[in-house]
Amino acid sequence: MKAYILDAYGKGHQLRLGEMPDPVVGPDDVLIEIHAAGLNVIDSKIRNGEFKLIMPYTLPLVLGADLAGIVKRVGANVTRFAVGDAVYGSPRQGRIGTFAEVIAVDQADLALKPANLSMVEAASIPLVGLTAWQVLVERAKLQRGQKVLIHAGSGGVGTFAIQLAKHLGLHIATTAGTDNLDLVRSLGADVVVDYKIQDFSELLSGYHGALNSLDGKTLAKSLQVLKPGGKLISISGPPDPAFARQQGLHWPLRQVIRLLSASIRRKARRRDVSYSFLFMQASGEQLTTITTLIESNEIRPVVDRVFPFAKMNDAMAYIDTGRAKGKVVLSVR
C-alpha cells in the first residue's frame, strides 16, 4: 500500500511517500479503505520526537489517528461491521497509521459514519470528539449549569468541546484570537476572551473545570480561575503519575514523569483543585454516542482546509503554523 512514512524523528521532517506492507487483519480487525484522514497536533509532536520516551513507536512509522472510509474485509470475530459499511474512528495508540491507503483497526475502535457527513467531515471528528468527551464527561464529570473554561476555542479540540459543552448545558468561557471571536461565539461560547489583548485569569473566576491545550504558562494561570474542588485537565502536558501507570512505563521513567508534573500538581493542591493529564483513548462506543449528536445537528464539524493526498507535507506544515480553525483533513481518495 502507499503511505506517508516517518523514517526519523525531527522537527519539521518531511514524510516520505512510499510503499508499506499491507496490514495484517486479525480476528477482531476491520480492514478499511481510507477515504479521508484528519490531521492533529499530536501528529507533529510524534514526528518531532516529543513522545518517543513515553510512546515507543518503531520506525519507520506511518502517522495519523483519524480516519473515515469503507470496510473492505472483516476478521473472523467481527460482528459489528460488514463489508461495504462506511465507518470512522481513531485507532488505538499502538496502531496509528491513517496517512495511508488502507489500515486494519480493531472493531472496538470504530463506529458507523454519521449519515449526514461526508468522508472528509467525518474524518475531522474522531480524535477531537473523543478527547472532548473524555475530558468533559468522563474526567471532569461536569453537570448542567456548571462553568468550564476551554482554551484555544477555535482549534480542533476547542471547536468540538465548545459544542459538546453547550449540549451538556454548561456555561462556557473560551480563549481565542481576535480573528476567531465570531467563530467561537457561533459554536456556543458564552464568554469569549481575546487572548491578544485580554488576560483570562483576571476576567474569569469560580469555574468548575478547565481544558488546557496550550503551554505551561497558560496551564498555571488556569488554576486561578477554578473554584475549590475544580478540575484542571491538560491534553498538552505535562504527563502525570496516573498516566505513567496507565502506560505501564518502567519505574525510572515513572519517576521522571512524576518530577515533570510535580510543580503544577503542587500548585493545584495549594488551591484545593486537581490536575490531571489526559491522552485520548480509542472508543467506538463513545463515537457511536457522538454520532447521535452529529446526526441530530447538536454538533457540526469545523473543517479549515482539505489537502489532497499528494500534498501531505503541505498539510503537516499548515498544522505546524498553529493557525488552523477547526480541523485540517487529508483527502485520500
d(CA 141, CA 124): 25
150-174 pLDDT tens trace = 999 999 999 999 999 999 999 999 9
Same domain, 112 and 133: no
Residue 12 is predicted with a pLDDT of 87
38 in any annotated domain = yes
Q: Could you tell me the residue range of the domain that residue 97 belongs to?
A: 2-125+301-331
* Same domain for 118 and 25: yes
Report the mean per-residue pLDDT for the chain. Answer: 97
Q: Which residues pair with 62 in a beta bridge?
A: 5
| Three-state SS sequence of the chain | CEEEEECCCCCCCCCEEEECCCCCCCCCEEEEEEEEEEECHHHHHHHHCCCCCCCCCCCCEECCCCEEEEEEEECCCCCCCCCCCEEEECCCHHHCCCCECEEEEEHHHEEECCCCCCHHHHHCCHHHHHHHHHHHHHHCCCCCCCEEEECCCCCHHHHHHHHHHHHCCCEEEEEECHHHHHHHHHHCCCEEEECCCCCHHHHCCCEEEEEECCCHHHHHHHHHHEEEEEEEEECCCCCCHHHHHHHCCCHHHHHHHHHHCHHHHHHHHHCCCEEEECCCCCCHHHHHHHHHHHHCCCCCCCEEEEEEHHHHHHHHHHHHHCCCCCEEEEECC
Are residue 200 and residue 263 in the same domain, yes or no? yes
Instruction: Please write the tens of the pLDDT for every residue from 250-290.
Output: 899 999 999 999 999 999 999 999 999 999 999 999 999 99
**pLDDT 10s digits, 81-115:** 999 999 999 999 889 999 999 999 999 999 999 99
Closest among 161, 124, 184 to 307, alpha carbons compared:
124
Mean pLDDT, range 110-124, rounded to an integer? 98
Q: Has residue 56 got a pLDDT over 90?
A: no
For 34, counting Cβ atoms within 10 Å of its Cβ (0-12 exposed, 13-18 middle, 19+ buried), the class is buried
The reply to whether 324 falls in a domain is: yes
The answer to whether residue 238 scores a pLDDT higher than 90 is yes
Q: Is the pLDDT of residue 219 over 90?
A: yes
174 and 256 housed in the same domain: yes
42 has pLDDT over 90: yes
Task: Judge whether 287 lies within some domain.
Answer: no
Question: Do 139 and 259 have their domain in common?
Answer: yes
Judge whether 293 lies within some domain. no
CA–CA distance, 51 with 246 (Å, rounded to integer): 15
Extract the C-alpha cell encoding 5: 512514512
- Give the chain's domain count: 2
| Sole residue written with cell 510512546 | 55
- The alpha carbon of 320 is separated from its chain's Cα centroid by a whole number of angstroms, namely 15
pLDDT given for residue 54 in this prediction:
83
pLDDT of residue 51: 87
What are the tens digits of pLDDT across the range 21-30? 999 999 999 9
Mean pLDDT across 296-314? 98
User: What's the confidence (pLDDT) of residue 55?
Assistant: 82
Give the contacts of 321 (CB within 8 A, at least 6 positions apart).
none
Whether residues 219 and 192 fall in one domain: yes
CATH of the domain at 14: 3.90.180.10
Higher-confidence position of 77 and 247: 77
pLDDT at 122: 98
CATH code assigned at 173: 3.40.50.720
Residues 115 and 219 in one domain: no
Domain contains 296? no
